[in-house]
Amino acid sequence: MTILVVAVVSAALIAGALWGIYGKLSTKTQGFVIALAGGALIVSLVSELIQPSLEQSNMWVGLGAVAAGAVVFTVIDYWIDEKWDADGGGGLLAAITLDGIPENLALGVALIGAAPIEVAALAGSILLSNLPEAAGGAKQMVKGGLSRGKTLGLWALTAAILSAAAIIGNIALEGVSPHVLAGTRCFAAGAVVASLATEVFPQAYKEDHHMAGIATAIGVVLAVFLGDLSGG
């Protein structure tokens, strides 16, 4: 079941890339979906990762790990912006991979000892986030001169890397102490929160600033609803 959940979430990257390469994607639609996914992901991170970790360990471990995850993401993201062409294929793909690794690691860790329904909100939010990110990224790569075949191949490779991150997180951390598990979950959550603040919401506002706030609110409502259905 873990492999199935991970496969579905990562397949969204390939589906999004196909959407961006061959489909019609309006800028406003992309911005709306990105904002919606961001709102859902915030709720899911708090309810499925941070709050259970604080109950499992203690506040200082959890909050310290959240801060550490945000700092590490910010430093690496800054390096990518400075050393790579942020608007080109390499920099954009690197940034999205950096965003996706903690997300998928968190997904794998969250699946440890939990029924799949308990992580439905988190998995659904990551899936929604992957679709527009991959669509926008693939569209930008093709516009930059990269062939459609190479663009799709890069996104397929990224999906494989992120799938591996989730499976490694699920297998390697099974049986570790509650404090290590809680710290890992919160570290991943902090990295994703930082990515939302620096990458996701600014892009959503830039592309659909009139509806970005409403879309984010809809994402929050959907995540709370899914969490209630799953008993979260």
User: Is the confidence at residue 86, as pLDDT, over 60?
Assistant: no
CB of 124 closer than 8 Å to CB of 110:
no
Burial class (CB in 10 A: 0-12, 13-18, 19+), 74: middle
Name the residue type at position 154: L
Per-residue confidence (pLDDT) for residue 71, from 0 to 100: 93
Question: Tokens 């620096």 identify what position?
Answer: 198
The model's pLDDT over 111-151, given as tens digits with 9 standing for 90+, comes to 776 666 666 666 777 777 778 778 877 887 887 788 899 88
- How far is it, in rounded angstroms, from Cα 165 to Cα 168? 5
Say how many C-beta atoms besides its own lie within 10 A of residue 214's C-beta.
Answer: 14
- Note if the pTM is more than 0.85: no
44-56 mean pLDDT: 84
CB of 5 closer than 8 Å to CB of 124:
no
171-180 mean pLDDT: 80
- How far is it, in rounded angstroms, from Cα 38 to Cα 194? 11
Tokens of 89: 């294929």
CB of 188 closer than 8 Å to CB of 122:
no
- How far is it, in rounded angstroms, from Cα 42 to Cα 175? 27
Q: Rg of the chain's alpha carbons, rounded to an integer? A: 17
Per-residue confidence (pLDDT) for residue 89, from 0 to 100: 52
Per-residue confidence (pLDDT) for residue 232, from 0 to 100: 47
User: Is the confidence at residue 1, as pLDDT, over 70?
Assistant: no
Among residues 150, 37, 33, 38, which one has the least CA distance to residue 90? 150
Helix, strand, coil share (%) of the chain residues, nearest 5: 85, 0, 15
Going from the C-alpha of 28 to that of each of 24, 37, 62, 147, 149, the distances in angstroms are 12, 14, 37, 25, 26
Per-residue confidence (pLDDT) for residue 12, from 0 to 100: 85
User: Is the confidence at residue 88, as pLDDT, over 70?
Assistant: no
- How far is it, in rounded angstroms, from Cα 10 to Cα 18? 13
The model's pLDDT over 53-85, given as tens digits with 9 standing for 90+, comes to 888 888 988 999 999 989 988 888 888 777 665
Task: Write the DSSP string, 55-78.
Answer: HHS-HHHHHHHHHHHHHHHHHHHH
- Indicate the SS3 state at residue 145: coil
- How far is it, in rounded angstroms, from Cα 109 to Cα 170? 5
